[in-house]
């Protein structure tokens, strides 16, 4: 069996990261809004999210903004046979930065969080350079 390129391995792990963020956001929102809200149809006006559930929701939304680019680039690199090199390092940078970003966002740490986000974008740019 041939080993998968790092970009595809990270693509698989990125799905795990997505699920973790979805579950984290859901658990924090349910803690604030209650299990009846979670189990219900969620019709009508929802109670505003508090600090941590709101941060988790915004963190998940931020992840979802760049995630399609990561998926497209990882698949593009694999299909085109251009895995490795700066594309591989870009995928690693994006993935590690997205992991580090979550606790920074939840803790409300400014500036460093923004720098980490920029690191994730740099990772995407490196992948794009390798792809093109």
pLDDT tens sequence across 71-96: 999 999 999 999 999 999 999 999 99
Joined together, the tokens standing for residue 98 give 């997205």
pLDDT at 83: 97
Question: How many CB atoms are located within 10 Å of the residue 104 CB?
Answer: 19
**pLDDT given for residue 45 in this prediction:** 81
Averaged over 32-57, what is the pLDDT?
88
Name the residue ranges covered by the structural domains of the chain: 6-43+50-131
Q: Is the pLDDT of residue 1 over 90?
A: no
Statement: residue 2 has pLDDT above 90 = no
Q: Is the pLDDT of residue 44 over 80?
A: no
Q: What are the Cα distances from residue 104, in Å, to 43, 54, 123?
A: 32, 14, 18
CATH numeric code, 6-43+50-131: 1.20.120.550
Selected residue with higher pLDDT from 1 and 132: 132
Short-list 98, 114, 109, 106, CA closest to 24: 106
DSSP 110: T
Mean pLDDT within 22-40: 91
Q: Which residues of 49-65 are buried (b: 16+ CB within 10 A; e: fewer)?
A: beebbebbbebbebbee
């Amino acid at each position: 069996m041939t080993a998968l390129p790092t970009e595809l391995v990270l693509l698989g792990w990125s799905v795990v990261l997505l699920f973790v963020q979805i579950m984290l956001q859901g658990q924090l929102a349910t803690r604030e809004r209650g299990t009846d809200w979670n189990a219900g149809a969620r019709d009508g006006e929802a109670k505003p999210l508090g600090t941590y559930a709101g941060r988790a929701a915004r963190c998940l939304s931020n992840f979802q903004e760049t995630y399609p680019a990561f998926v497209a680039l990882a698949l593009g690199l694999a299909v085109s046979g251009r895995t490795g090199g700066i594309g591989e390092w870009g995928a690693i940078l994006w993935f590690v930065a997205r992991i580090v970003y979550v606790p920074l966002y939840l803790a409300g740490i400014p500036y460093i969080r923004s720098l980490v986000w920029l690191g994730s974008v740099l990772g995407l740019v490196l992948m794009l350079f390798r792809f093109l």
